[in-house]
A and B are shown apart, each in its own frame.
Chain A
């Protein structure tokens, strides 16, 4: 579905450099959607993809609303990835940038392994690029996706809460982000163990990173493209950790790199 015109009632957001229109038919969700997506708001674009927020049942409670917001985020992400397939190399990753230089660290990890926690913990005073998908153009620039953070609740089986970055003290990038470093996260250490940083050779990097990409096969010579990205930032490093705060030195080093 695409927007025929700058439709009234549509909320337009920028995701990975694409504009996506969100249709919110249920008034009970509208305010929450507008607030959660406040960091991504943009102007209307005719013909952009449109996604519809799920409608709530008449007696919907907070859990159902949270689940609807979570589904909406997935729909927007999917639409944005589809719009940029073959243009951006997209990783399942969280990312932070330096607010003056734009130097950005992409922290690649499968879902549910701490991407959001890392940007919440280490994002203060930095640019919040994304907690979900990092899109890298051929010139190394990064398309921000400052979506609501998907915050896990303590109890299992509960929907995640889609939280506006501003509610967590995070700000979107103030300058154009560019990729300064890429790391693969593995949260496999015990509490109290020191963070371990390991160099990964380019062939193993391709094996490890490919499963964390979206639309890799959309590129001509996809492995070569992926290798170029890895080599342009000095290679892939695997960061093994337990506590998100322990990754701070790695983030500081990468965000201090010159372009």
Chain B
């Protein structure tokens, strides 16, 4: 999946990542979908297994570097490929879908984050 140049450029290892404006989350044994509020309406997005793990691991907010560490502690090392590349790709896909938002604000600032 390709990502807009501006999104790729703004997500670095120190970028703070937070949950997007998720109105609801629905999970079954085979996966998860989220209802995302957006400027042009609401959309339902089906998450990949790694995308769902990223969403769950972000909590109130983590940098990309912290997220990598957290995911390795939760899931272990990936069977193939580098952790950084896999996590970064999943993050970019989720930012594209507004499931998570990327910003430079302080970690403790979670204003604007709406939890179901």
Contacts and interface: CB of A to CB of B under 8 A. Distances in A.
The secondary structure that dominates the A interface is helix
Contacts of B23: 217, 222
A210 B46 contact: no
A202 B28 CA distance: 9
Contacts of B37: 217
Interface residues of B, number: 18
Given A207-B44, A210-B43, A216-B42, A222 B31 contact: no
Contact of A216 (B25, B28, B31, B35): B35
B24 interface: yes
Interface residues of A, number: 15
A201 B44 contact: no
Interface string B14-35: 0000000001111010111111
Instruction: Choose among B33, B34, B116 the residue with the greatest number of A CB atoms under 10 Å from its CB.
Output: B33
Instruction: Choose among A202, A204, A206 the residue with the greatest number of B CB atoms under 10 Å from its CB.
Output: A206
A1 interface: no
29 contacts: A201-B30, A203-B26, A203-B30, A203-B31, A203-B32, A203-B46, A206-B26, A206-B33, A206-B44, A207-B33, A210-B35, A210-B42, A211-B44, A216-B35, A216-B42, A217-B23, A217-B35, A217-B42, A221-B116, A222-B23, A222-B24, A222-B35, A223-B24, A223-B25, A223-B33, A223-B34, A223-B35, A224-B24, A224-B26
Interface of B: 23-26, 28, 30-35, 37, 42-46, 116
